[in-house]
Amino acid sequence: MAVYAAPGQPESIVEYAPRYENWIGGEWVRPAKGRYFENPTPVTGQTFTEVAQSDADDVELALDAAWGAAPAWGRTTAAERSLVLNRIADRMEANLEKLSVAEAWENGKPVREALAADVPLAIDHFRYFAAVIRAQEGHSSEIDGDTIAYHFQEPLGVVGQIIPWNFPLLMATWKLAPALAAGNAVVLKPAEQTPASILVLMDLVSDLLPPGVLNVVNGFGAEAGKPLAANPRVRKVAFTGETTTGRLIMQYASENLIPVTLELGGKSPNVFFSDVAAADDSFYDKSLEGFAMFALNQGEVCTCPSRALIQDSVYDSFMARALDRLGTIKQGNPLDTETMVGAQASNDQLEKILSYIDIGKREGAEILTGGERVDLGGELSGGYYVAPTVFEGNNAMRIFQEEIFGPVVSVARFTDYDDAIKTANDTLYGLGAGVWSRDGNTAYRAGRDIQAGRVWVNNYHSYPAHAAFGGYKHSGIGRENHKMMLDHYQQTKNLLVSYSDQAQGLF
């Protein structure tokens, strides 16, 4: 057990600058209007640094830098770009603890999770794209004996990326690694709730990338996000967030005729068939852990398994065991390595979760555990903590249909396979899902029948770089992770070549 010293204390391994500017063209650049906003930690609610409050002028400056760098970066060899990504990964690995503490302090997540998942996954993601870009090949087609179609991948140029606040470093990496590997220059806007850990990362890797290849502009969506998303000098926009902003970004993209990648969340079903309880063994234990996964990252995960569907015949015994399991979860100081559930990322997030708990009660759902804000005492009293909460109800209730983005699961029964699939698919979204069964046929069929881009079978919340991630239905457009992601950041150039001396015979 260890408790990391809070940033700001002399023995802390993270030292924040009192103020961060924008990272543009390989240097820190003051925001044009000279404005900064306060950045509080959700751990205590206290401000720990200030960050540039940018607007359209700063976005233009970043785009100038990106377009200045893009042609040369796009011409580097895959081997050169791969080396840069590997060096970024190595630098992150050498600073694993520092980045993990920074991420916990910024977002409120337990440092245990950042150390074991967020930062190692980000490191691996850079290495993965460093690898696949080396192995990527164009292809050729023989149209006839004298005519060959060659296909080459070329970078798009300059892309805009808007990052969410739930996994600041990992979500930035999901977007950056494929874009940079493919040879694009990037203008990235971190979430205004969580800008600082990305800026700590920029400080660490600033010497590894040519100036202008990666630019970070901070600020609010309305002031800095819109000028980026609507900018005619951006060749593609990638966004993770919610549906209304997703639609707005598509609307801007339609004006500029550019592609978008959107990841807009979900209301993921976690389906437990009765045979999980056929024996009280390690598999049953694993499935109970799978139920508790709704509390991972305080439920602030787009794929949070926030609807648990449990087969009638084992419902009571399963829920009794599941609630026991939840009782062992440790909620507390995010900088304590024993802590499993930390703080919600912001005050408005806390308020929103509490308002959902309220509407859940009004709709007649029963609270089986939790259902309230938690005061951890001392300095943590100012932080944003919610007890892991289990509601029992039915799928028509709003708590079953809307992404609460908190440690809240809504539980319902199902009778048989068809009932399970019908309820699982009765949602606007289709990002993630879980299926738990000892029967391979049932698990496979359910995995195929659930309309979601990622179905975890007998596991949950695993995010390997080599597995495609993205949504069906209102959960978005496009995929992240996997080498197929390179396509999202590349044009296809077709060279149609004739090796014949003969006229084509048309004129």
Note the residues at the interface with another protein (CB under 8 A).
37, 40, 53, 164-166, 191-193, 220-223, 225-226, 229, 240-248, 251, 263-266, 300, 302, 346-349, 351-352, 355-356, 358-359, 362-363, 396, 398, 401-405, 428-429, 431, 474-475
The answer to whether 263 is a known catalytic residue is: yes
Under 8 Å CB-to-CB from 94, ≥6 apart: which residues? none
**Is the Cβ of residue 147 or residue 355 nearer to another protein in the bound state?**
355
Ramachandran category for residue 184: left, alpha or beta (phi over 0 → left; psi -120 to 50 → alpha): beta
Output the 3-class SS for 145-177: CCEEEEEEEEECCEEEEECCCCCHHHHHHHHHH
**Is the Cβ of residue 213 or residue 357 nearer to another protein in the bound state?**
357
Angle, vertex CA 331, rays to CA 329 and CA 333, nearest 5: 145
Distances (CA, A) of 219 to 37, 40, 343, 382: 8, 14, 23, 24
Token reading at 132: 């696949």
Cβ 265 to another protein shortest distance, Å: 2
**Is the Cβ of residue 166 or residue 197 nearer to another protein in the bound state?**
166
Cβ 240 to another protein shortest distance, Å: 7
**Is the Cβ of residue 85 or residue 345 nearer to another protein in the bound state?**
345
Task: Report the b/e string of 377-415 with b at 16+ CB within 10 A.
Answer: eeebebbbbbbbbbbbbebebebbebbbbbbbbbbbbbe
DSSP sequence for 367-418: EEE--SEE---GGGGGS-EE--EEEE--TTSHHHHS---SSEEEEEEE-SHH
Cα 481 to Cα 464: distance, rounded to the nearest angstrom: 8
**Is the Cβ of residue 110 or residue 432 nearer to another protein in the bound state?**
432
Cβ 286 to another protein shortest distance, Å: 26
**Is the Cβ of residue 170 or residue 209 nearer to another protein in the bound state?**
170
Q: Where are the beta strands (DSSP E) in 273-332?
A: 307-311
Cα-Cα-Cα-Cα torsion 81, 87, 90, 96, nearest 10 degrees, comes to -90
**Is the Cβ of residue 212 or residue 265 nearer to another protein in the bound state?**
265
**Is the Cβ of residue 123 or residue 309 nearer to another protein in the bound state?**
309
Cβ 279 to another protein shortest distance, Å: 36
Cα 328 to Cα 83: distance, rounded to the nearest angstrom: 44
Query: Any idea which residue has 């179609």 for tokens?
Result: 149
Cβ 433 to another protein shortest distance, Å: 15
Token reading at 256: 């500029």
Structural contact between residues 185 and 19, judged by C-beta atoms closer than 8 angstroms: no
Cβ 47 to another protein shortest distance, Å: 11
Angle, vertex CA 407, rays to CA 457 and CA 366, nearest 5: 95
Structural contact between residues 413 and 274, judged by C-beta atoms closer than 8 angstroms: no
Token reading at 423: 């309820």
Cα 325 to Cα 457: distance, rounded to the nearest angstrom: 21
Cβ 406 to another protein shortest distance, Å: 11
Cα 190 to Cα 224: distance, rounded to the nearest angstrom: 10
Cβ 480 to another protein shortest distance, Å: 13
**Active-site residue, from 50, 263, 300, 403:** 263
Cβ 506 to another protein shortest distance, Å: 45
Say what angle helices 196-205 and 168-181 make with each other, to 10 degrees: 40
Could you count the other beta carbons within 10 Å of the beta carbon of residue 76? 15
Cβ 49 to another protein shortest distance, Å: 14
**Is the Cβ of residue 157 or residue 406 nearer to another protein in the bound state?**
406
DSSP sequence for 174-189: HHHHHHHHTT-EEEEE
**Is the Cβ of residue 8 or residue 221 nearer to another protein in the bound state?**
221
Angle, vertex CA 402, rays to CA 401 and CA 405, nearest 5: 135
Catalytically active residues are 263
